[in-house]
Structure 1
Amino acid sequence: MDHYEQQALRELQQWQIRMNKKPSLFNGLTKGLQNKVNNVIPDKIHEIMTSAIKNIVRAALLGSEFTTKKEVPSGLSLAERERLVRERLRFYKKAAATEGAATGAGGLFLGLADFPLLLTLKMKFLFEVAAIYGFDIKDYRERLYILHLFQLAFSSDARRREVYQKVLNWEATILEFPSLQAIDWRRFQQEYRDYIDLVKLLQLVPVVGAFIGAYANYHLLDNLGDTAMNGYRLRFLQQITITPK
């Protein structure tokens, strides 16, 4: 291993410790608050959010519109690949912040429009990252991996530990999914919504919505970037006979 790979491995191990942490008391209190928030959000908003998640994620996993057309040179080192990932992450964080500010300043209806737009940005980013690390995003199994990384980034503490074990033992996990139809869409939607509903609700507040939208979207992409990089480091380093545990 070169110096960069050694540093990446240390960062990966620190990330793995975070992924394995048990749910905290604060997490339980947050979940209770989330349930109360869900009860006061109008049913129409719930329907819009659920429909957006289902349609966009299915399109990403079953269609071709999210595949990247950019060619990534073969034989790149881990350092070179991650330089490209960081460049794309900076682009997507700025795009998400700009979009969040614009929709947050527009009141209820534009605020709701942010939900599918942000979800689309997240999916596009994950597809680009997978390609940069050298994985074939036309393979449905790689799209399943993208879906699991998405869940890992935006799930409760308890669910996160469960998904992390599936990511860690990926070769066994893919045997559970003979096709994309085996995905538990209902659970996937609810976990994602529970993770970001409170933030998206605050984004609908007049005056402060633009600031909240920009700040929240920027950091949601930052969290996704950290999860994606370490999720693919896990497999990339495994390919060169390093097996983190």
Structure 2
Amino acid sequence: MSIHAGGGLETAAQLKSALAEVEKWEKDQKNLMIWDRLSRLPFKMLDKITPRIVHEKLGVALDELGGYIQNGGKYLVAGRKVGQLLAASNAKRGGPESGPYSLAVMDEAARKLAGERTLFATAQGATTGIGGIFTLAVDIPAVFGLSLKAIQEIGLSYGFDPTLKEERIFTVKVMQFASSDIVGKRAILEEINQQASAGEEAAQAAISRIQGWREVISVYRDNWGWKKLLQAIPVAGIFFGAYTNRGMLKDVTEAAEMLYRKRRILARLAESGE
């Protein structure tokens, strides 16, 4: 991310350069190493080795995700902290405390929020790794909720309001993207790139594509289930818990930064008539 616009907004040429960076990242995501696919265990095998308590917690997460899409629920974040970060970053660059903010200001806020959430998840994974399978059942929904909140905060950094239903749907798609294999990533990128913006009709169409949002939980388990099981190993679980949680949040926040950044760039290019 190499845009530097001082206290002002970017030129069309700068926006196009930033868009090229995001598109290069998207291309890389579509060409992940074969190991990414080989490292995933089939659902049936996971069903056999995953303890019942973990299944129950994933079931709770499924119900809560449905509530989040409908009304935000307990996962909906407030924008005050994000607003303060944006204002401080803009003032540092010589701009006013209120927006509109440059892409550089948005990038800085997003990176800071991503770093904070990743550090928190890492510490949490190490702590819950001490207690084995019992604290693992606490860690899974906690990291799930933390991921949703991190995505929303990054979305707010780029000017997208999670109180809108269509934005909460986009949050879920970002989370699904971060947890998907190479085939899933390609499909989700194509869907996001083709999806029309805003409107209740678009929101309802997106909900139907999420298929009752069950696929999000399935992908989440397919990707992370076997890794989280390593966290149940006594003592070693401290390391595995910290490492796995850190990786999860890094993937989620990176996807959020890139996908929301692209939306903001395209919106600004449209505004400029480019």
TM-score (norm 1): 0.87
**Equivalence for 1:178:** 204
C-alpha distance after superposition, 1:99-124 (max 9, x if no partner): 11111111211121100111111111
The answer to whether the Cα contact below 8 Å between 2:125 and 2:139 also exists between their aligned partners in 1 is yes
Cα gap change, 1:236/1:5 in structure 2, threshold over 3 Å: closer, same or farther? same
Q: Is structure 2 residue 179 aligned with structure 1 residue 154?
A: yes
Deviates more, 1:121-130 or 1:173-182: 173-182
State the AA in 2 paired with 1:58: G
Q: Is structure 2 residue 68 aligned with structure 1 residue 60?
A: yes
Aligned with 2:221 (options 169, 193, 210): 193
The answer to whether the Cα contact below 8 Å between 1:60 and 1:123 also exists between their aligned partners in 2 is no
The answer to whether the Cα contact below 8 Å between 1:74 and 1:134 also exists between their aligned partners in 2 is no
For the pair shown, which has the larger CA radius of gyration, 1 or 2?
A: 2
**Equivalence for 2:86:** none
Aligned with 1:40 (options 45, 49, 69): 49
Q: CA deviation at 1:180?
A: 7.5
**Equivalence for 1:236:** 264
Q: Distance in 1 between matches of 2:125 and 2:223?
A: 17
Residues 73-222 of structure 1 correspond to what in structure 2 (within 5 A)?
Answer: 73-171=98-196, 175=201, 177-178=203-204, 182=208, 183-184=210-211, 185-222=213-250
TM-score (norm 2): 0.78
Aligned residues: 240
**Equivalence for 1:11:** 21
Cα gap change, 1:7/1:206 in structure 2, threshold over 3 Å: closer, same or farther? farther
Cα gap change, 1:176/1:19 in structure 2, threshold over 3 Å: closer, same or farther? farther
The answer to whether the Cα contact below 8 Å between 2:180 and 2:219 also exists between their aligned partners in 1 is yes
Q: CA deviation at 1:14?
A: 1.7
Cα gap change, 1:32/1:172 in structure 2, threshold over 3 Å: closer, same or farther? same
Cα gap change, 1:158/1:98 in structure 2, threshold over 3 Å: closer, same or farther? same
Deviates more, 1:43-52 or 1:170-179: 170-179
Deviates more, 1:182-191 or 1:41-50: 41-50
Cα gap change, 1:94/1:196 in structure 2, threshold over 3 Å: closer, same or farther? same
Cα gap change, 1:200/1:121 in structure 2, threshold over 3 Å: closer, same or farther? same
Cα gap change, 1:116/1:32 in structure 2, threshold over 3 Å: closer, same or farther? closer
State the AA in 2 paired with 1:16: E
Cα gap change, 1:50/1:129 in structure 2, threshold over 3 Å: closer, same or farther? same
C-alpha distance after superposition, 1:183-230 (max 9, x if no partner): 422222111110100111001111110111111111211111110111
Q: CA deviation at 1:152?
A: 0.7
State the AA in 2 paired with 1:48: K
Aligned-residue identity in percent: 25
Q: Can you give the 5+ residue segments of structure 1 that lack an aligned partner in the other structure?
A: none
Deviates more, 1:125-134 or 1:167-176: 167-176
Q: CA deviation at 1:48?
A: 2.3
State the AA in 1 paired with 2:68: A
State the AA in 1 paired with 2:215: R
Q: Distance in 2 between matches of 1:28 and 1:63?
A: 32
The answer to whether the Cα contact below 8 Å between 2:114 and 2:250 also exists between their aligned partners in 1 is yes
